[in-house]
Amino acid sequence: MTENRRTREDIKRERQLKNKSKKTKTSAGKWIKRIVLTIVLVGVLGLLSGAALFGYYVSKAPELDEELLKDPISSEFYDVNGELFATIGAETRQYVKYEDIPKQMRDAIIATEDSRFFEHFGIDLWRLGGAVLANFRDGFGAQGASTITQQVVKNSFFTNEKKLERKAQEAWLAIQLERQYSKEEIFEMYFNKVLMSGRIYGFGTAAKEFYGKELSELTLAESAQLAGMPQSPNNFNPYKKPDRAKKRRNIVLSLMVQHDKISEEEATEAKATNITAGLLPEEERVANATTKYPAFLDVVLSELEEKGDGEYIAEGIKVYTTLDPKAQTVVENLMNNDSNFPTENIEAGVAVVDTQTGELRAVGGGRNYVAFNYNYAYDLQTRQPGSTLKPLIDYGPAFEYLKWSTGETTVDEKITYSGSKQVIGNWDGKYLGTMTVREALYTSRNIPAVKTFREVGPDRSQQFLANLGIQSKGLTESEAIGGGRINISPIQMAASYAAFGNNGTYNNPHSISKIVFRDGKTSKSYKPEPKIAMSDYTAYMVTDILRDVVSNKKNASAPRAMVSGVDIAGKTGTTNYSSDEFKKYNLKSSSVPDTWFAGYSTNYSIAIWGGYEHRKDAITTWEERWMPQYLFKSIMTDLNQHNPASTFKQPSSVVSASIVIGSNPLKLANEFTPQNQRTTELFVKGTEPTQYSEEFVPQTLEAPTGLQATFNEVAQLADVTWSHPSLNEANDNEENTATQTLDPITYEVSMAVDGNAAAVVSVSSATSIQVPNIERGKVYTFTVTAISGELRSEPAAVTLFVEGDTSTEPAEPEDPNNGVEDPNNTENPAQPDNNGNNNWNNGNQNQGNGNGNNGNGNSGNNGNGNGNGNGNTVEPEPSNPSPSTPNQPSPPAAGGNETNPEDSEDE
């Protein structure tokens, strides 16, 4: 019982615990109340601060101006010299009253842009709430909530900046606009003010420009197409980007169904309409009349769209471009002259880029280009580049990453694609064997290109392309020769090639330098940062090879692009049809779809594509294939006249060396290497070979042997004979490289009379010669020298003295044999002097000594003459059986030539 009784201590402890619990609960409640009060207070303060800030922003808002509300603000475009060349604004617009806007057109616009337009007071709170959530989730400016009313205000008074101050002022003025104008008036402002595409303002103007119709004549599909364009005018242009335009049109049709403007059946029928079916043919469009240089201006507008700045055009900005009016005029004059094109319908796209900066100087969008049409210089993204890709994907990476020289050896031989049985072919169907990569590139061989790609590897090739602004993925061997999935516009091609001419520095191609907003203070630069794409040695070695492409070298692929006096490098490209396409389109075997030329100087890089609008229309002649080369030559010639180019400078990182072609490893050529087996090539400094080839040893040519000279008393001539070791020893000594590589041997025979200057009397491959008109009492010295290519032997010499008439004591000759007795040890009897015989002299003159080169001439009874004249041997008369009595030779036959000995080498 005592155990159940509580003590005073227990009771005291229980009270303390209760008090502590009460204090804890009271404390937590107080903190919750404090937090709630704090939040409320912050909210009130924030609301008051926000209201104050909003009031401050509103106080700075501009006044509503009806003229600005109704008329577009013109934007101006300036060339590289700061001269105005185009203005886009109200002057190109067709104004339409609200009551003349068809209901179908109104429904399409409202369903797309502002479905609660006729319910809100200028601001759509539901739409605003969704935008706020999106901005909290993705960051401020991620999503807009602009109503049609707000868009009118924005396009009239503000720049397209997502700043809190501007948004606050825009909202305030939208409310004021709704108070001062009716919904119909506001819709009319929007309808006529909105930018539709490029230089087209207002839906009425767009209906005329795109479809050649009044608004009331538009089909549902056409109305939906126009209603969807303001969100991104150039990207949804059906002429330029039909696929995107179709997708956008179908979204508009779905929104119209969603908001009960049309039925599902009507939408389905409209979606089935071809997106280009009702478009106005380009020859009937009139947009060109509003501006100069339409092809260049279209690129500028597209670049603004790409940067997300397309809406700025409606805000009255100044656009400073890179346009060179002189260059643009050259290109347009060329493109608009039908005589420069081999067929009536063949097309071309031309891009002229500044080699040093990447700035676009001129654009040829197509023949007789019409604004907003398909621009072959900018929009061409579905055509393969052909062999113009080889320096970018194969050889450039090989020089950069493998440090190959231009003399690296490759073999042009039959191979197949890796993992396939498909044979890789060359353009001429031939395989040329061992060659340098220089020759492989400038003659555009496919097999060496694929082999080079294999050595480099797809990853390094992909990186090299990325450095030049070309994105690629999963490269295969078909890309190595310009096929596959890589497609490049002429503008991108020109910019990529410019890096080779700019010591390896790449600049993104751009047509805009900067834009200046309406306040005149705010601007935005468009100039890209230069990027080191490759080493200077890579850039120069590629350039040096591509110089050969436009040279007169054998098999060079683009001699027609050569410009006299201008240091140019370049590359051709041609694409192929697949076997299925040949069957599908019923094409000739020589048909190709595309032809390219990309070339550059130190000032300009120019890329030109040629082909037809539709792939099924094939290039079938060489004139069509060569067209880009001819266009390039004309453009570069004119451009160089007002801005002469300098020469490409070899950097210190590159050295040249003379090597033996095909040596592996590469070896230096020595002084005895034949010219046809040596070449001078470029090397990355420090990688050049240091060892000389031992394949070729110093070559010597032995002198003739057994040289003899005898006097023929009957014919009054000297018989000179000799021999040479090569006649018996050729092929006997396999180790004698000199013998194995000797060119054919000829023999040069000279004669000196009585110590006077020697004259060449014969050069032939014969080992004997007969010299006529030998006179008694004179000393004749004959020398014979063997010749093989550039080699000359030591001369062999012999002296012949013929005694005078034996009836008279002849004068003692002065050392006729130079101290050596007559080697033949003969004393020739006196013979009658035949020099007086005119017929005999004529025969000898034409045959024996006439030319001094190889040939047969008349030589009296013996019938043999040494010389290179075209005379005929005279056979002995059959009535004279005795050889001791000479017959009188006949005159030379027709066609015999009388030439001077000095001309023998030319003959």
Tell the residue number behind the tokens 């048909």, with chain if given. 591
**Could you tell me if 883 and 714 are in contact, meaning their C-beta atoms sit under 8 angstroms apart?**
yes
Tell which residue, 406, 394, 381, 397, has the closest CA to residue 487.
Answer: 381
Which listed residue (146, 156, 302, 387) is catalytic?
Answer: 387
Q: Which two tokens stand for residue 631?
A: 């266009």
Residues 6+ apart with CB under 8 A from 199: 86, 88, 92, 287, 290, 291, 297, 301, 371
Tell the residue number behind the tokens 């009585």, with chain if given. 754
Residues 6+ apart with CB under 8 A from 689: 657, 659, 665, 666, 667, 668, 683
Q: What is the strand order of the sheet 604-611 is part of? A: 360-364, 347-354, 604-611, 594-600, 569-574
Q: How far apart are CA 110 and CA 115, in angstroms?
A: 5
Give the chain's radius of gyration (CA, Å): 46
Q: How far apart are CA 461 and CA 452, in angstroms?
A: 10
Which residues are 788's β-sheet partners? 791
Tell which residue, 420, 426, 318, 280, has the closest CA to residue 83.
Answer: 318
- Asked whether the bond before 665 is cis by omega within 30 degrees of 0, the reply is yes
Q: How far apart are CA 710 and CA 720, in angstroms?
A: 7
Q: Which two tokens stand for residue 4?
A: 């159940």
Clarify whether 359 is annotated catalytic.
no
Tell which residue, 252, 299, 249, 304, has the closest CA to residue 274.
Answer: 249
Clarify whether 461 is annotated catalytic.
no
Q: How far apart are CA 792 and CA 701, in angstroms?
A: 6
For residue 587, how many other CB atoms are within 10 A of its CB? 17
Residues 6+ apart with CB under 8 A from 136: none
Q: How far apart are CA 447 and CA 441, in angstroms?
A: 10
Residues 6+ apart with CB under 8 A from 304: 234, 310, 312, 313, 319, 512, 515
Amino acid found at 458: P
Which helix (H) or strand (E) segment holds residue 640: the answer is helix 622-642
Q: Tell me whether strands 318-321 and 768-771 are parallel, antiparallel or unpaired.
A: unpaired
Residues 6+ apart with CB under 8 A from 691: 667, 668
- Output 801-808 pairs: Cβ under 8 A, ≥24 positions apart: 802/711, 802/774, 802/775, 802/776, 802/777, 802/778, 802/828, 803/776, 803/777, 803/827, 803/828, 803/830, 804/776, 804/777, 804/830, 805/776, 805/830, 806/830
Query: Where on the phi/psi map is residue 860: left (φ > 0), alpha (ψ -120 to 50), or beta?
Result: left
Query: Where on the phi/psi map is residue 35: left (φ > 0), alpha (ψ -120 to 50), or beta?
Result: alpha
Q: How far apart are CA 590 and CA 622, in angstroms?
A: 10
Amino acid found at 420: S
Tell which residue, 199, 186, 105, has the closest CA to residue 151.
Answer: 186
Is the Cα dihedral 565, 571, 577, 579 positive or negative? Answer: positive
- Which residues are part of the catalytic machinery? 113, 387
